[in-house]
């Protein structure tokens, strides 16, 4: 603790402190592997530990009487796995004021733009089937690793966490200014999410997806449509097309798929996915008190000028349409047209502007067709 005093830091300092971050980076503070606790481990635990993983994991036994959240804090564990009622309950470490960005991958949430395209996908907990085979154990371990690694997102960490070896999962290469041991700096989140994606692709054709397949597909879909790493739009779409089969009955799946299709300039397929999503959203729960248009404005003003951003905006317009009757869509389209005139994202991109305006027309046509029981092509 003397080193902390010299640096002018205290254990309670937040990792949001630039001073704390700079000091730890300069000191090259050691990092622990991912740590996962197993409550009353049985055969299921043997399958998990034996399954191949994407990162190094230290496994620990946890007494049955300890609450998972307490065990995480007490033993500096990234996650704790408990078998309850035939299923595995995974709980990740949360600190007061450093909550997870996503509560539970296993359940659907009220829909909003920030739910479909979240800035953070780290979960507080999730529920998985107890693995009975090596194949299921591989997916279960990948899901647990992903949840545990994401629990080390910078927003989740305090200075005390860093001092305990819970380093951020992001792969920022340190500046080389002296001799020392080489440390790999590949993005830990990318590594575990790529592994989870590949496993899902091998199981996407299953006629009856498991709960853990559906949970993982939600997380992977959100990650693929917001991740800024090196991936081509075609590569992203191929993965989302396959994974979409798992949760094809959920509107956020169709919205993410639409964004990926628009990013590949397949406007017809993108509009088809939006019409399907709009049909589902009519019977879904939207996030109360959320102005969808605010997020769309944010993308239009400060979003990166990429095809995927245009795709996300188009999906956002579908969410916006879900908040109003069909009679108001034409008026909203006019208001949006005026907003686009001042959009930094759409300067010199008349084709993208026309595409976004066509979203309202296609949704309006689809709703009127459903109302009168007619094919959309016969509705003006």
Number of Cβ atoms within 10 Å of the Cβ of 353: 19
In the block, which residue shows the tokens 């005093």? 5
CA 176 to chain centre: 32
Average pLDDT, the chain: 88
Give the pLDDT of residue 256. 98
Percent of the chain with pLDDT over 90: 63
**Which of the four pLDDT bands, split at 50, 70 and 90, describes residue 4?**
very low
Question: How confident is the model over 56-84, as pLDDT tens digits?
Answer: 899 999 998 899 999 999 999 999 999 99
Instruction: Please name the helix (run of DSSP H) or strand (run of DSSP E) that holds residue 221, with its range, or none.
Output: helix 211-224
Residues comprising the chain, all counted? 380
**Across residues 1-11, what is the average pLDDT?**
47
Asked if pLDDT for residue 46 goes beyond 70, the answer is yes
Q: What does the alpha-carbon distance between residue 9 and residue 219 come to, in Å, rounded to a whole number?
A: 36
* Beta strands across the sheet bearing 34-39: 57-62, 34-39, 79-84, 87-92, 123-129, 102-104
> 279-296 burial by CB neighbour count: b if 16+ within 10 A, else e?
ebbeeeebeeebebbebb
Q: What does the alpha-carbon distance between residue 42 and residue 343 come to, in Å, rounded to a whole number?
A: 57
Radius of gyration (Cα) for the chain, nearest Å?
Answer: 23
Give the pLDDT of residue 188. 86
Question: How confident is the model over 261-305, as pLDDT tens digits?
Answer: 999 999 999 999 999 999 999 999 999 988 898 999 899 888 889
Give the pLDDT of residue 184. 64
**Which of the four pLDDT bands, split at 50, 70 and 90, describes residue 6?**
very low
Give the pLDDT of residue 135. 95
- Of 144, 142, 163, which Cα lies nearest the Cα of 79? 144
Question: How confident is the model over 310-352, as pLDDT tens digits?
Answer: 999 999 999 999 999 888 888 888 888 888 888 888 888 889 9
In the block, which residue shows the tokens 């001073």? 19
How buried is 248 (Cβ within 10 angstroms: 0-12 exposed, 13-18 middle, 19+ buried)? middle
How far is residue 208 from each of residues 3, 211, 214, 248, measured CA to CA in Å?
56, 9, 10, 12
Least confident of 23-37, 183-197, 221-235: 23-37
Least confident of 10-19, 25-34, 182-191, 212-221: 10-19
The encoded tokens of residue 175 equal 């500046």
Question: How confident is the model over 99-127, as pLDDT tens digits?
Answer: 999 999 999 999 999 999 999 999 999 99
> 50-68 burial by CB neighbour count: b if 16+ within 10 A, else e?
ebebbbebeeeebeeebeb
């Amino acid at each position: 603790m003397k080193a902390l005093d010299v640096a002018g830091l205290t254990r309670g300092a937040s990792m949001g402190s630039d001073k704390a971050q700079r000091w730890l980076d300069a000191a090259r503070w050691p990092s622990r592997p991912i740590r996962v606790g197993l409550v009353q481990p049985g055969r299921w635990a043997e399958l998990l530990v034996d399954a191949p993983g994407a990162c190094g994991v230290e496994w620990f036994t946890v007494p049955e009487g300890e609450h998972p959240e307490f065990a995480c804090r007490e033993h500096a564990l990234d996650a704790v796995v408990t078998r309850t009622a035939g299923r595995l309950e995974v709980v990740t470490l949360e600190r007061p004021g450093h909550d997870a960005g996503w509560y539970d991958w296993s359940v659907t949430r009220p829909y909003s733009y920030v739910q479909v395209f979240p800035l953070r996908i780290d979960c507080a907990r999730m529920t998985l089937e107890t693995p009975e085979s090596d194949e299921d154990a591989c997916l279960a371990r990948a899901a647990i690793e992903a949840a545990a690694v994401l629990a080390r997102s910078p927003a989740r960490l305090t200075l005390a966490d860093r001092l305990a070896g819970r380093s951020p999962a992001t792969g920022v290469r340190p500046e080389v200014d002296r001799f020392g041991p080489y440390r790999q700096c590949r993005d830990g989140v990318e590594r575990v999410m790529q592994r989870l994606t590949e496993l899902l692709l091998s199981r996407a054709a299953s006629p009856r997806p498991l709960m853990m397949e559906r949970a993982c597909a939600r997380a992977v879909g959100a990650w693929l449509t917001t991740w800024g790493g090196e991936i081509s739009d075609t590569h992203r779409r191929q993965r989302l097309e396959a994974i979409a089969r798992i949760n094809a009955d959920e509107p956020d799946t169709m919205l993410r798929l639409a964004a990926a299709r628009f990013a590949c300039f397949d406007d017809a397929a993108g509009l088809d996915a939006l019409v399907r999503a709009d049909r589902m959203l009519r019977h879904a729960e939207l996030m109360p008190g959320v102005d969808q248009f605010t997020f769309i404005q944010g993308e239009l003003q400060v979003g990166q000028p990429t095809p995927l951003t245009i795709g996300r905006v188009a999906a956002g317009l579908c969410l916006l349409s879900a908040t109003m009757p069909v009679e108001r869509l034409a008026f909203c389209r006019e208001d949006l047209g005026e907003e686009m005139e001042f959009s930094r994202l759409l300067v010199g991109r008349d084709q993208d502007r026309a595409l976004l305006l066509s979203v309202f027309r296609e949704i309006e046509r689809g709703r009127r067709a459903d109302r009168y029981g007619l094919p959309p092509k016969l509705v003006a």
